[in-house]
Amino acid sequence: MAGAYDDRDGKIWMDGKLVEWRDAKVHILTHALHYASSVFEGERCYNGKIFKGVQHSERLLKSGELLDMPIPYSVEQIEEAKYAMLKANGWTDAYVRAVAFRGAGDDMGVSAARNPVRLAIAGWEWGAYYGDAKMKGAKLDISKWKRPSPETIPSQAKAAGLYMICTMSKHAAEAKGCSDAMMFDYRGYVAEATGANIFFVKDGEVHTPIPDAILNGITRQTVIGMLREKGITVNERRIEASELEGFEQCWLTGTAAEVTPVGQIGDYSFEVGQLTRDIATDYEKLVRS
């Protein structure tokens, strides 16, 4: 499948039924378009099975709760809808996007309690998020934007509005020839990339930021579990900017990124070392098992 995302053949699940791809539309006065009242999940289906699908559906509902936007579907109904969409399109390997949002209704302002919460589930066939970076390591810029305090946003929600500075950061990075950007948090600690969590290696141990101001990714949690099963020490902690110079290896994790090695962040370089390659290979085996 190729071409603009609004001009393709296929089926998209919307509000309880499958509709033709080009008919999956919303009104211009949809609340989410004006006020970012939207949450979503990104998932991958491997060999006909969505990896950690139930956990993603649970997080979608939690994100809705955090935005005071109760989603009118159960985990079981969301799972059924995802697989119905995949079957209708004939896909066994695909990216899955579930998005819940406040639609058009009686309210058109900051308050939107009377507007319906809608749910749509789409998908597409998608390869490696960072292209050939899995072999040589992705090149990252350092963003000027910082992840905000959890006192200002619901940082544990996968909410559309929280990605605005991520889009701006990634555009700036791409203009410099980079694949992505690393972001610091509001305190100046290392946080994450624009859509992926980050890990570092030093002296055989792994270091990764505490998810106290960032999303605790499902892939992040999976990889931490894999590392600990291998007997590798994982330090979840606050990481200072000055420490970047001393790390030997680095990788990103996320549904889209999977496990992607990082070769450079700003002026700092990292090797695509054995541990990075091993965890990327082990993750690939796990999701396809």
**Catalytic residue from among 52, 134, 139, 158:** 158
Cβ–Cβ < 8 Å for 208, 196 = no
For residues 199 and 208, what is the distance between their CA atoms, to the nearest angstrom?
5
Residue at 233: amino acid letter = T
User: How many other C-beta atoms lie within 10 A of the C-beta of residue 279?
Assistant: 23
Where b means 16+ CB within 10 Å and e means fewer, 14-34 reads: beeebeebeebeeeeebbbbe
- Can 170 be counted among the known catalytic residues? no
Report helix, strand or coil for 249.
strand
Q: Which residues of 187-214 are buried (b: 16+ CB within 10 A; e: fewer)?
A: eebbbbbbbbbbbbbeeeebbbbebbbb
Residue 216: how many other CB atoms lie within 10 Å: 15
Determine contact, residues 66/102, Cβ cutoff 8 Å: no
**Catalytic residues, which ones?**
158
